Structure 1
């Protein structure tokens, strides 16, 4: 049996929007949908599960649907279920979040700790419902974007839409300064022009998805601004995250934090394998 797409629900409007998005995604990929609610009260949990199940069933009647209530910390429960999940899907805000917060505490904690891709569903309805026909992926230098690129190519494939691959670079950050610890290979890699960095990253997945319509974009300037601008006309923004060396969890970094808080469309954080 296919591993499920898991969506965290708490009864908030944001979590119901996540259910809608997850139901559509489960249909696209042909995977089961599993609703997870971490709660203290049985009556409340029953109401939340019933409402979410009805909503998912109406939106994705052909998808195998299951649900679960766990009496434990929501972030821990989701991270645990994410060890055997196609992806975890969460709303941008939860019931317990303070007014004015741009991203819920549970969503941020899960994005920083999960072993599978984490989707934070945010943005206006036109972004959540896939009306732009465009998936955007951020491409870093090196191998940090490999798994994110595979995810993004697959998403564009199942959606039958365009893939915009964005590589942003800052000239000052690429300036070579002599450092004895650097190897010849590291220096040569640092000299690669940005267009070559992007072309090299796209070559492998493009061979596997030969029907992909890829628009490579090399942008001089901060990655945060480049990706937010590209996401303004996107159905999905995909970024990668490295594992913390010697510590559990992911290095979300300042750019990913900014995207999770401010992106105008759903954001996927894909752990680098």
Structure 2
């Protein structure tokens, strides 16, 4: 059976090389090959002219090959026996990387880009990749020295619905592969609607809300601890906005994992302003995991 590769997108930036390091380590730990992809194309509005266009494209191809060679050398430094492949795609980065996710186990990207990939993880392109990728997407942010956080727990956001099931499964597998503690975080905050229904003077039953949150968390973890008995699990219940709680955890986590869809605060984590906040400010890598659950 063919092993699906870990795919990493590069653009020659320092951030992309941080992503290569992370991806190479992850591929080696899970016994998967690493596929390094660089996509190039002429930007919209570029002056027309066959001769000029071909000359520029030749330059982009040569530059792309150099970047791919550098990335492969770096990957081999991380894992000398790692099976690697390099791909140069003549397409827009979003198009090329979305196509790669059809046969990938994981897509890894740096937190900033340049040239054709500028804004990849902070604008519409990042939303497209996170929302449409056929595999989990990891956005890597380097530390002060540019290296991903080597220690700390895996943190998974659990929202109490089936939508977080895929995220929990991914987080357990990562914790097992990295020999890391898994922190299962359930954050809740009463909605404006619930407060209005209860009335402005109605007392809030904090104990009952916490009980409901604990039950929801336990339900989502049921079975996974038995499947991964070697993984140490810590449950954390937080009365807070999910994005703020996850950002706080990201300061010491080696990876924060969230599902693509959910309910309450996690619903917009990838597709709305909450996602932008986390992707801009999380101190470490963030994994966005696709779920098949219908909204």
TM-score range, shorter chain: 0.7 to 0.9
Q: Out of 180, 192, 197, which is 1:161 matched to?
A: 180
When residues 108 and 94 of structure 1 are mapped into structure 2, their CA distance, relative to the original with a 3 A threshold, is farther
**Within 5 A, what are the aligned runs for 1:1-273?**
1-40=2-41, 41-96=60-115, 103=122, 106-124=125-143, 128-172=147-191, 175=194, 193-242=212-261, 252-273=271-292
Q: Provide TM-score, normalisation by structure 1.
A: 0.85
For the 8 Å contact 2:188–2:240, the answer to whether it is kept is yes
Q: Which has the larger radius of gyration?
A: 2
Unaligned runs of 5+ in 1: 179-189, 244-249
CA shift digits 1:62-116 (9 cap, x unpaired): 1110011011010110011101101000011111389999836544431222111
Question: What is the total number of aligned residue pairs between the two structures?
Answer: 256
CA shift digits 1:172-222 (9 cap, x unpaired): 4683888xxxxxxxxxxx997111111111112112111210110000011
Choose between structure 1 and 2: higher strand proportion: 1
Q: Provide TM-score, normalisation by structure 2.
A: 0.79
Q: Distance in 1 between matches of 2:236 and 2:193?
A: 18
Unaligned runs of 5+ in 2: 42-59, 198-208, 263-268
Aligned to 2:53: none
When residues 174 and 235 of structure 1 are mapped into structure 2, their CA distance, relative to the original with a 3 A threshold, is farther
Q: Distance in 2 between matches of 1:203 and 1:114?
A: 27
* Cα RMSD, aligned residues only: 2.7
When residues 69 and 271 of structure 1 are mapped into structure 2, their CA distance, relative to the original with a 3 A threshold, is same
For the 8 Å contact 1:3–1:86, the answer to whether it is kept is yes
